[in-house]
A and B are shown apart, each in its own frame.
Chain A
Amino acid sequence: MKLIILDDYDKASEWAAKYIRNRILHFNPGPGRFFTLGLPTGGTPLGCYKKLIEYFKKGELSFKYVKTFNMDEYCVFHELVKAEISHLDMNTKDYHSFMWNNFFKHIDIRAENAHILDGNAVDLQAECDAFEEKIKAVGGIELFVGGIGPDGHIAFNEPGSSLASRTRVKTLALDTILANARFFDGDLSKVPTMALTVGVATVMDAKEVMILITGAHKAFALYKAIEEGVNHMWTVSAFQQHPQTLFVCDEDATLELRVKTVKYFKGEFLLW
């Protein structure tokens, strides 16, 4: 594992974006040779997306030959609820909208190359299985970028999720629902209770994994993920067993780590 510690959120976002950019450029994608990228949603990757858009606008990077696979999506299938929440900020309630507004609409990616699970599919498990097939069909994911929840979850693989899990339908933890209520007028009845998510093993299949962690509220999860053992209660800990993992964080996210750990990786970083 490499632990990259930057001073603050902006620097961490920039570092992560540069890494993604350089990986794509080094791979040199072209017709028939796509760079496959796994993508997260949420507050953490926003700065990284902004930077990537900047590099695109400057002409340094193109997404024409990049295929993306998002980690998860909410299920909102009741028409009544759909109507009730249609006035809400689309970015928070629908990951399709989040990706469109914060990333896709600003770059040159083609729609057929952007894959997001469809939370409105009639047969949800079939949708999940098809997603796994799509990943297989493109030869797997080069770089999977993810975040971490305060409870240590990767995507919606919440505490107790099998570390051998694949893309599937998940019932959301009460914690997650309560945390999300603020995006749904504070009305618990409107918050989605189910979501489609890639499994821990799905992400483990990627050639390389990069986890973005910023903010003091994620510090305990980071501690559990890298200083304690592999444990299904903190599913990000699974990546201790991945040969190519990168954790990118800011100073605040290291607050629960041992001084020794931080010094070790900072020293390594200087050499890197």
Chain B
Amino acid sequence: MPSNKSVSDAPITQFINCRILRDHRLQRDDLWVREGKILNPEKLFFDEEGFADLQVDCGDGILAPGFIDVQINGGYGVDFSQAADDISGGMALVAKKILEHGVTSFCPTLVTSPPHIYHKVRATDRVLVSVQVLPQVSVDDGGPGGAGVLGVHLEGPFISREKRGAHPERYLCSLAGGGLKDLLEVYGSLDNVAIVTLAPEIPGSLEVVRQLKERGITVSLGHSVADLSQAEQAVQHGATFITHLFNAMLPFHHRDPGIVGLLTSDQVPENRTIFYGMIADGIHTNPAALRIAHRAHPAGLVLVTDAITAMGLPPGRHTLGQQDIEIEGLHAYVAGTKTLSGSIATMDMCVRHFQQASGCSLEAALEAASLHPAQLLGISHRKGTLNYGTDADFVLLDDELSVRATYIAGHQVWRK
């Protein structure tokens, strides 16, 4: 069928027989794609007198924006924080595999590690090159090879000793009052960094928060014993995220709610939303606590997997960062303890569990994994929605929110 477009010769695909998530509602409507972006069919009709070249029947499924995971430490045997020879290869493997979970973009997360993990010596073509890990991780939009990398999430080492969780104590750092210089000494570079998690009670951290925010890097509060007032100060300096709410922070107390209190704080600057990561695997957070947070501040809930190396692997002993962990069913512990070391639930599992535990609408559950993380990173004009002109990264689901197919730039990159 000849195409009829005066603006572009590229083929147009029309996804029919589906319900799409648009304007916060599931609507029975078709989704049109051209050149990797969502196309406005009305403009196509009236302005270009164009029509679709290809129609794809979605079998009455749900089309939602592709999921965005802003906290994932590895998976399928790959540990982003390990001194692996092939960093990009490892990331590529995980990026490819998470397409099966509906994830089309992610932030590979590095936990607290010694400086040499962030900087690294690598041999290429018989030339010994001192290479820094972070610039190697390139930001990309993803494709058939795997989900897109939005930037690295650096979780630590500027975190609290008491609340380090699975992070190794000996590599925790304090700040020397030099602002970003201190960070650059540890990290080597802040290129391609999307998020930094730090503890705001660390002296000198407020200045760091301010400078990171100025650089366009999202600052998250976590692994911290900060009280509410310290957390609010960090927010006023530019922090906008909370790393895995409830975990690795002081518990909510009615006379000092701590970081959890940010959900309903009146000190948050106007027009700013505080987002909070939730590991909705049924283990890291009791469903009742999940519901309290959700009901208190539904617009800020961001589903994260915090998935570790063992995600996707069979039960047994594996390595995360500088420590060993033990898998038992859906639980992953620091070997020899009962400290949770991370989650092995996949993103689609988290979406389903969140919807069931909170009783929220399908739309709200899907937005917690797509729209909210995109808003957190300030990229919702490109990702996280199915609005006209945005990247055509989306996922086809059934009514139980199981993933049937994943699409990046309008191309099917995975199918059940």
Contact surface of A with B, Cβ cutoff 8 Å: 96-97, 100-101, 104-105, 110-112, 114, 116
Contact = CB atoms under 8 A, between A and B. Distances in A.
Nearest to A90: B42
Contact of A110 (B30, B46, B49): B49
A111 B42 contact: no
A101 to B, nearest CB: 8
A42 B213 CA distance: 50
B51 A111 contact: yes
Given A105-B42, A111-B50, A111-B51, 12 more contacts: A96-B42, A100-B41, A100-B45, A100-B46, A101-B42, A105-B30, A105-B45, A111-B45, A111-B46, A111-B49, A114-B45, A116-B46
Interface string B5-42: 00000000000000000000000001000000000011
A141 to B, nearest CB: 21
Nearest to B48: A111
A111 B50 CA distance: 7
19 contacts: A96-B46, A100-B41, A100-B45, A101-B42, A104-B45, A105-B30, A105-B41, A105-B42, A105-B45, A110-B49, A110-B51, A111-B45, A111-B46, A111-B48, A111-B49, A111-B51, A112-B49, A114-B45, A116-B46
Contacts of B51: 110-111
A104 B30 CA distance: 13
Nearest to A96: B46
Interface in B36-90: 41-42, 45-46, 48-51
Contacts of A112: 49
B41 to A, nearest CB: 7
Contacts, number: 24
A116 B49 CA distance: 13
Contacts of B30: 105
Contacts of A116: 46
A104 B45 CA distance: 9
Nearest to A100: B42
A111 to B, nearest CB: 4
Nearest to B49: A111
A97 B50 contact: no
B381 to A, nearest CB: 16
Chief secondary structure at chain A's binding surface: helix
A97 B45 CA distance: 11
A105 B50 CA distance: 12
Nearest to B46: A96
A165 B45 CA distance: 30
A114 B44 CA distance: 13
B193 to A, nearest CB: 35
Contacts of B50: 111
- Would you list the 8 A-B pairs with minimal beta carbon distance, nearest first? A111-B49, A100-B42, A111-B45, A112-B49, A96-B46, A100-B45, A97-B42, A104-B45
A116 B41 CA distance: 17
B252 to A, nearest CB: 38
Contacts of A96: 42, 46
Interface in B197-225: none
A111 B49 CA distance: 5
A105 B30 CA distance: 9
Nearest to B44: A111
Contacts of B45: 100, 104-105, 111, 114
B405 to A, nearest CB: 24
A110 B49 CA distance: 7
A116 B47 CA distance: 12
Contacts of A105: 30, 41-42, 45
A245 B48 CA distance: 36
A70 to B, nearest CB: 12
A266 B41 CA distance: 44
Interface in B228-265: none
A104 B41 CA distance: 11
A115 to B, nearest CB: 11
A231 to B, nearest CB: 37
A44 to B, nearest CB: 22
Nearest to A112: B49
A154 B128 CA distance: 82
Contacts of B49: 110-112
A116 B45 CA distance: 12
Contacts of A111: 45-46, 48-51
A111 B45 CA distance: 6
A110 to B, nearest CB: 7
A19 B30 CA distance: 29
Contacts of B41: 100, 105
Contacts of A110: 49, 51
B44 to A, nearest CB: 8
A97 B46 CA distance: 10
B291 to A, nearest CB: 33
B186 to A, nearest CB: 46
A114 to B, nearest CB: 8
A260 to B, nearest CB: 47
B231 to A, nearest CB: 35
A111 B52 CA distance: 12
